[in-house]
């Protein structure tokens, strides 16, 4: 039997009728949607992102993940709820994603039933626009939400390489070694449990083109449950 790289071995007992070891695959639950936004929705998102581009700040000031006191990301970004007094009513992007995620019950598409049940009661979301220039990255980390959604798009023809998302098959406690890579394709959306480790590989692009908006754009949609 050939072992899949995401399989791990698990002992099942000493009964001679049952194999001493079996192969168990630890799956990473995720949803991928190509062409996530229609033309009208994408046009609104691109317009708003173009307007916000000049207001992006150092990613180190956007509540980044840390490890042993060290910030794990290098990029630019802005939280919609920091820029707008009420992003739910003022931001076309926030309204579009809230509708597609919550009203359309997107996360009901998770294969794991308990995950669908937990998503059913989600009543909180936060969103952030990020931009990656040359050398920008996000080292392996997890998010503080319940579900992380990532949407990639271009406001100008992309001129960068790299910037792949690596989604690992475990949490920080697992110290996972295996991963599923995703290319940041234009108009692609991916969602997964936030506790699973993930990272963004370094982006390669000239400074001139990056400053013109040809780099890696990503909208992060963090969903969870309000504190009680």
7 part of a folded domain = no
Whichever domain contains 62, its CATH number is 2.60.120.620
18 part of a folded domain = no
19 part of a folded domain = no
Q: How many CB atoms lie within 10 A of CB 109?
A: 13
Paired tokens of 83? 């820029």
Q: Which residue do the tokens 């001679």 mark?
A: 16
217 part of a folded domain = yes
**C-alpha distance from residue 151 to each of 13, 102, 117, 121 (Å):** 44, 15, 23, 22
Identify the pLDDT of residue 26.
60
Contact 124, 226 (CB under 8 A): yes
SS3 34: coil
pLDDT tens column, 25-63: 467 889 999 999 999 999 999 999 999 999 999 999 999
pLDDT tens column, 166-223: 999 989 888 888 889 999 999 999 999 999 999 999 999 999 999 999 999 999 999 9
The C-alpha atoms of residue 45 and residue 155 are separated, in whole angstroms, by 9
Structural domain of 49: 29-224
- Residue closest to 162 by CA, chosen among 132, 189, 192: 132
Contact 215, 74 (CB under 8 A): no
**C-alpha distance from residue 2 to each of 5, 23, 108, 176 (Å):** 9, 10, 33, 20
SS3 216: strand
Cross-strand partners of 224 = 124
Identify the pLDDT of residue 211.
95
The C-alpha atoms of residue 56 and residue 208 are separated, in whole angstroms, by 17
45 part of a folded domain = yes
Identify the pLDDT of residue 9.
36
Domains held by the chain: number: 1
DSSP assigned state of 77:
E
Identify the pLDDT of residue 43.
97
Direct distance between the N- and C-terminal alpha carbons of the chain, in angstroms, rounded to an integer = 49
Cross-strand partners of 138 = 73, 200
132 part of a folded domain = yes
pLDDT tens column, 119-156: 888 888 999 999 999 999 999 999 999 999 999 999 99
Would you mind telling me the total number of residues written for the chain in this entry?
228
SS3 61: helix
The C-alpha atoms of residue 97 and residue 150 are separated, in whole angstroms, by 11
- Residue closest to 148 by CA, chosen among 31, 25, 26: 31
8 part of a folded domain = no
Q: Which residue do the tokens 């150092």 mark?
A: 58
pLDDT tens column, 94-125: 999 999 998 888 999 998 888 888 888 888 89
2 part of a folded domain = no
Pairing of strands 124-132, 76-79: antiparallel
9-13, 46-50, 72-76: segment of lowest average pLDDT: 9-13
Mean of pLDDT values over 70-75: 97
Mean of pLDDT values over 10-32: 54
């Amino acid at each position: 039997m050939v072992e899949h790289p995401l399989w791990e071995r698990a002992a099942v007992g000493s009964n001679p009728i049952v194999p001493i070891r079996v192969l168990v695959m630890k799956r990473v639950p995720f949803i991928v949607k190509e062409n996530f936004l229609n033309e009208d929705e994408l046009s609104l998102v691109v317009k708003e992102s173009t307007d916000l581009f000049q207001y992006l700040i150092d990613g180190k000031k956007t509540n980044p993940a840390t490890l042993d006191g060290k910030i794990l990301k290098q990029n630019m970004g802005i939280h919609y709820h920091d820029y707008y007094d009420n992003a739910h009513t003022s931001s076309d992007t926030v309204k579009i994603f809230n509708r597609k995620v919550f009203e359309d019950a997107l996360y009901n598409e998770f294969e794991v039933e308990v995950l669908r049940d937990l998503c059913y009661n989600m009543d909180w979301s936060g969103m952030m626009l990020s931009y990656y220039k040359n050398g920008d990255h996000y080292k392996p980390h997890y998010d503080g939400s319940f579900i992380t959604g990532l949407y990639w798009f271009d406001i100008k023809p992309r001129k960068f390489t790299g910037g792949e998302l690596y989604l690992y098959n475990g949490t920080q406690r697992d110290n996972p070694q295996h991963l599923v890579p995703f290319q940041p394709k234009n108009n692609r959306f991916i969602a997964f449990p936030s506790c699973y480790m993930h990272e963004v590989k370094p982006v390669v692009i000239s400074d001139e083109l990056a400053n013109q908006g040809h780099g890696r754009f990503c909208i992060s949609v963090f969903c969870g449950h309000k504190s009680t």
